[in-house]
Structure 1
Amino acid sequence: MAVYTEVSLSEAQALFKQLKLGHVTSLKGCAGGIENTNYFASAELEGQTHDYVLTLFERLSFEQLPFYLQLMKHLAQHGIAVPEPTANDKGALVFDVKSKPAAVVNKLSGASELAPTPEHCAQVGAMLARMHLAGRSFEPQQPNLRGLSWWNDTVPVVLPYLTQAQKALITQELAYQNHVAALSSYAALPRGPIHADLFRDNVLFDTVNHAPVLSGFFDFYFAGIDTWIFDLAVCLNDWCIDLETGKNNAQNAHSFIASYNQERPLLAAERALLPAMLRAGALRFWLSRLWDFHLPREASMLQAHDPSHFERVLTQRVSHLLDFDTLAACA
């Protein structure tokens, strides 16, 4: 989250009045993330205070945004713990705030767990599988906008900023991913709506009887139609690695995969291509962080991510070609 577009309290109050959400009593900009303008808002309605997130979308268009919001509403209505967008009297989910597309969703309870244990990973893996299954009945179509096509377009843009070794790594990996995408086994992989960015800071947990209980997934604004195994790989590259080195955390990986597999058993083709998708996920986020780092946008609150982190993850995934069974094995 970040703040690129300033929103006043009165402007937020006007939108909340339109949505019949009550009177906004506080509005606070969010510093985390890099894509959109986000505010935490509290509103009073009939003597009760409710918490929301107001988002202004800096890159997504008015035409693109309904896909994400409709997906969130679909998942919420199918029992997946995600923020549910608020509609107006006409059923619209997208609104114009300062000439930017905007949305309001309920704020989930809990906090992110930045040092996940196998128990955290088990809960996330199980809900990820249930989310994929719930998405099968979601009809709107929109590709993963940060998928292979974007990688092919963006690598040439960041190459001038890289060392020779980095150039070699990123161009070789891009060629490999184009090769994988041309395989018939890849084309046959099951797919549907994916989150595509389900990192530790996009999941919340409550504590019940001193134990973690997953309270929800959020920030679906990189979602799109893609392979489910890529979504799983993106998660494994964050939840199941050592942040300092990028090395695989076998205990977390075992817990995550086992719980996912219990809800939706992985196909043999998915197992075979998971190592390639781990490399794909690392390339995607190294590339996007390079782009944001070297070609930044102005924002009043912004915390840029370190590109070198996913360079290390990619290097680990390339140099340690773990097969599925090794990856999922408990240390």
Structure 2
Amino acid sequence: MSVFTKVSHAELREFLRQYPVGELIGFTGIGEGVENTNYFVDTSDGRWVLTLFERLNYEDLPFFLGLMEHLSAHGFPSAMPLRTHSGQNLTMLNGKPAALVRRLNGQSVLFPDLEQCRQVGRALGEMHMIGLSYPGRCVNPRGAAWRAQTGRLLAQNTSDPAIRALIEDELAAQAGLDLASLPQGVIHADLFRDNVLFVEDRLTGVIDFYYACTDALAYDLAVTLNDWCFEPDGTLNPARWQALTAAYRARRELTDAERAAWPLLLRAAALRFWLSRLYDWTFPRSGDVVHVKDPEQYRRILVHHREHAPPAL
């Protein structure tokens, strides 16, 4: 979440008239994340998050908002999009597609304990199962084709031969991974610590579904593990890993094909976020508040997976 598009008090007050939210009290930009413009909004009828979509395809936005509604309808603690007086969950503000969702209670955690990891694993497995009944479909915009294209671009634009060699070697290895042959479904694709909310050890919300897509379910588990179970220095925390994977498998067991592909899945998930962060670092975007994450963390995670076999599932 960053602020690329500024919104004035008068513009927001007029925008909110189309929603059943009461009068505007105040709002503030959110400086975390990297893709969309986001504001916390307080009104006389509640607390909300306003998102202006900066780079996502307009045609894909109903997939994200419909998914959030589908999950909420099945009891999953997803942020729920608010509909306008005329029944729309997608509107326009300052020339950008916009959505208003109710702000969930809770806070993200920087250093999760084992119970929080168990709850995240359980929630991810539950989301995957509920998602099987969601009729929408959206191609992963950060899938294998994007990783190959972005990796080649970054390899050409780096002056560091070690980075170039790592990208090229990993892309060659990833050519042997066929994600389409693995069980498919709706994935969050970005279930990092800052996208899960807790009140103490109780999971109260899963947010930011704007990377959600249709892809290999086990890849989503790999994305989640890479964030929740690794220390800042790139070393694995085995206790967190065990807690999260056991809770996930209690809701959805992995297939033999997923287990066979598991080492490369972990590497693909690490490569995806290393490349996206390295891209933002190499080609920075302008904005009022822009949050650029350090790519080094995911380089270390990728190297760890290349040098160590993962714990047994």
Report the TM range for the smaller structure's normalisation: over 0.9
- The match for 2:32 is 32
Partner Cα distance (1:52, 1:29) in 2: 12
Partner Cα distance (1:201, 1:147) in 2: 22
Partner Cα distance (2:296, 2:258) in 1: 28
User: In structure 2, which of residues 299, 303, 306 is the aligned counterpart of residue 318 of structure 1?
Assistant: 306
Q: Secondary structure of 1:260's partner?
A: helix
- The match for 2:64 is 68
8 Å Cα contact 1:62/1:94 also seen in 2:
no
Count of aligned pairs between the two proteins:
312
> RMSD between aligned alpha carbons?
1.2
After superposition, give the CA deviation of every residue in 1:10-61 in whole Å (9 maximum; x if it has no partner): 222222210121111111001111111000001113xxxx100001011013
After superposition, give the CA deviation of every residue in 1:111-149 in whole Å (9 maximum; x if it has no partner): 111101111110000010000000011111111111111
Q: Secondary structure of 2:17's partner?
A: helix
Whichever residue aligns with residue 248 of structure 1, its letter is L
After superposition, give the CA deviation of every residue in 1:158-194 in whole Å (9 maximum; x if it has no partner): 121251111111111112112112xxxx443211110
User: In structure 1, which of residues 165, 175, 184 is the aligned counterpart of residue 162 of structure 2?
Assistant: 165
Q: Secondary structure of 1:18's partner?
A: coil
8 Å Cα contact 1:94/1:101 also seen in 2:
yes
Whichever residue aligns with residue 203 of structure 1, its letter is V
- The match for 2:173 is 176
Partner Cα distance (2:80, 2:216) in 1: 24
Q: 1:40-119, aligned counterparts within 5 Å?
A: 40-45=40-45, 50-119=46-115
8 Å Cα contact 2:180/2:216 also seen in 1:
no
Whichever residue aligns with residue 291 of structure 2, its letter is Q
8 Å Cα contact 1:61/1:101 also seen in 2:
no
Partner Cα distance (1:243, 1:283) in 2: 16
Q: TM-score, normalised by structure 2?
A: 0.97
Q: 1:1-331, aligned counterparts within 5 Å?
A: 1-45=1-45, 50-159=46-155, 160-181=157-178, 186-207=179-200, 212-244=201-233, 246-322=234-310, 324-325=311-312, 328=313
Consecutive unaligned residues in structure 2, runs of 5 or more? none
Q: 1:118 to 1:51 in 2, by over 3 A?
A: same
- State the shift of 1:106 in Å: 0.5
Partner Cα distance (1:161, 1:52) in 2: 41
Partner Cα distance (2:184, 2:57) in 1: 24
Q: Which runs of 4+ in 1 moved over 3 A?
A: none
Identity of matched residues, %: 43
8 Å Cα contact 1:25/1:42 also seen in 2:
yes
Q: TM-score, normalised by structure 1?
A: 0.92
- State the shift of 1:303 in Å: 2.1
Q: Secondary structure of 2:132's partner?
A: helix
- State the shift of 1:94 in Å: 1.2
Partner Cα distance (1:60, 1:187) in 2: 23
Consecutive unaligned residues in structure 1, runs of 5 or more? none
